[in-house]
Chains A and B, each alone.
Chain A
């Protein structure tokens, strides 16, 4: 399974944008890029996903490099509630594993008031 590399931790100030990077140099053509986050003492929750084009939703934006070997999750205005562990995950929809998610350690985002 393709792997991702993320920084262990990042800090941000409240109401400032946050750019969370993810490297996935071995990505295959059938891998979708998914982002989940896990707030303290909760289960993970879906944030966004994409294949080739940049994506926006109410929570965040996803910028995907042209060669698809890296991506960046963008939180436009961080709030204290955004403090969480963010997971970048490659989901293979072309294989026999039902497109299961494989979680790494993620990036722990701290937001300072």
Chain B
């Protein structure tokens, strides 16, 4: 199992450009999450999807949109990037039974710089 994978690993954008961060999991998990982490800070929840077909806002959703494409994939889109969105973005997933019920599994992150 690859677990949670994210693409790209690094990205540099200019202010106003758009891009989509991709996330996929192969653990058959129902819930998926997008977080951002600014330097020296903990992670903050942007959006989450409790199940295929549903998405909900987290703590810091402004400037972002998400799509739960299917059970495996959850993408994060920046329509018009701003320097304040420079951050490391983490995707995570969680299952509904056993060990996966109580544990979020995180991807390796995408480092985004907006100039």
Interface residues of A (CB under 8 A from B): 32, 34, 36, 41-46, 49, 87, 98, 100-106
User: Which chain A positions have C-beta within 8 A of B33?
Assistant: 100
Contacts of B105 in A (CB 8 A): 46
What is the chain A residue whose CB lies nearest that of B100?
A46
A contact residues around B106 at 8 Å (CB): 43-45
Bound Cα distance from A112 to B108, whole angstroms: 26
Give a binary string over B80-100; 1 marks a CB under 8 Å from any A CB, 0 the rest.
000000000010100000000
Distance between B78 CB and nearest chain A CB, rounded to angstroms: 20
Are B42 and A105 interface neighbours, CB within 8 A?
A: yes
Cβ–Cβ < 8 Å partners of A36 in chain B: 104
Size class of the B contact interface (CB-based, 8 Å): 20 to 34
Residues of A within 8 A of B40 (CB): 105
User: Nearest 5 A-B pairs (CB), nearest first?
Assistant: A43-B106, A103-B42, A46-B103, A103-B43, A98-B50
Bound form: Cα–Cα A45–B105 in Å: 7
Distance of A66 from chain B, by nearest CB (Å): 22
Residue of B whose beta carbon sits closest to that of A34? B102
Are B108 and A42 in contact, with the CB atoms below 8 A? yes
Pairs A–B under 8 Å by Cβ, sample size 27:
A34-B102, A36-B104, A42-B109, A43-B4, A43-B90, A43-B106, A43-B107, A44-B90, A44-B104, A45-B106, A46-B102, A46-B105, A49-B103, A87-B42, A98-B56, A100-B45, A100-B58, A101-B43, A101-B45, A102-B59, A103-B35, A103-B43, A103-B44, A104-B42, A105-B40, A105-B42, A106-B42
